[in-house]
Structure 1
């Protein structure tokens, strides 16, 4: 079974391809540049290097969010379009669960997070059993200080995985002290190969029509629409 994995939910853009339980190739970049212009050439390059035709793919996996609204949309739209055109199933995996997979051998709690601005983070809490990462606190957007208070109540070690770790480490370490563990720089990076690991361990495929992005919060357009229509009666 050949599976293509795609991630564009942050500044990191990546694609990976596996056959059964063997990773055949992975392409990752980590800089701020338009994913919409670079994703398909990256996929094409990877598949050409591996001498695999699109018609040979059996499924596609994609990081479905949360993350950058534009980034998530690009990745999910590309994955859905390819899966529909090839008539193959798709796996939509939490972007946070993908990052949490980097800590799959940690014995305590695993906390991936992404900066969501205005003092907020996208985050969730996971544990791992023999390399299989499972969710214990649902993915959400939350004020970082409130999240830290929740973690403090756990009274157990927490492995933090995030590209924004340096931005928030002082406030986290100040409150959680000895509970804090953080990954090496490579552990902080989202990797499409980790999407494949999740799929192999516990993924359930769906049709391309069923997959929807997980933004975790309203888009700016939706917020503005709700604000402008607040208090108006439904004429229908």
Structure 2
């Protein structure tokens, strides 16, 4: 089966084409450009490089969140549109779990984080067991202080992962790996049951600041 994998959950962009578990082509970028400008040209480029026509795709895999409101909306919208137009399967994968999967097998807990501002993060806690990645704390919006307290309670060594861990290192208390997302990691994380193209939505975990301001304004009226 041919898969197109898309991760636009944050500033980095990652797109890959795989044939079963073999990577045919991938593009990973951390350019400071809007994903609405980058994504479609990136998809065309990896498909051409893989010598795979879009009509030969069997499934789309997309990072469903959490992450950037705009990034998630663009990635999921493109993924749903392609899946619907091509009448193929659609799979959503946690963007934090996909980031955790960029770390090779380790005995430490893996803590992928995205900066959510105001000393808060989107974070999950994962661990390897029998070469499979498992969840020790569900993805959530959480203050860094609360996250550290939770990690201390687990009484296991841990490592943070993600480019935002470097930016936040003064607030963290363990080593970090500033990995960028790699869309190809999502292949091993897809569920056996595809998502419904019509009802599938990004997992924002927290409404955007623009939405919050609008709701506050409505409550005042």
TM-score, length of structure 2 as denominator length: 0.94
Distance 1:118 1:203 in 2: 37
Partner of 1:198: 189
Matches of residues 211-222 of structure 1 in structure 2 within 5 Å? 211-222=200-211
Distance 1:115 1:147 in 2: 13
Partner of 2:176: 182
Superposition deviation, residue 104 in structure 1: 4.6
Partner of 1:227: 216
Moved more, 160-169 or 24-33: 160-169
Distance 1:54 1:5 in 2: 13
Matches of residues 4-153 of structure 1 in structure 2 within 5 Å? 4-153=4-153
Q: 1:14 to 1:203 in 2, by over 3 A?
A: farther
Instruction: Identify the structure with the greater helix proportion.
Output: 1
Deviations 1:119-161 (Å, cap 9, x if unpaired)? 1101011111233212221111111111111111111111210
How many residue pairs align between the two structures?
221
Partner of 2:168: 168
Q: Say which one has the larger Rg.
A: 1
Distance 2:193 2:101 in 1: 17
Q: Secondary structure at the match of 2:101?
A: helix
Distance 2:13 2:193 in 1: 23
Name structure 1 gaps, 5 residues minimum.
174-179
Structure 1's consecutive aligned runs of 4 or more residues displaced over 3 angstroms after TM superposition are 229-232
TM-score, length of structure 1 as denominator length: 0.88
Deviations 1:143-183 (Å, cap 9, x if unpaired)? 1111111111111111210202222223322xxxxxx3433
Moved more, 54-63 or 220-229: 220-229
Deviations 1:55-114 (Å, cap 9, x if unpaired)? 110000000111111101010000000000000110111110100112250112110001
The alignment's C-alpha RMSD in Å is 1.6
Q: Secondary structure at the match of 1:64?
A: strand
Superposition deviation, residue 203 in structure 1: 4.9
Distance 1:110 1:181 in 2: 11
8 Å Cα contact 2:166-2:176 kept in structure 1: no
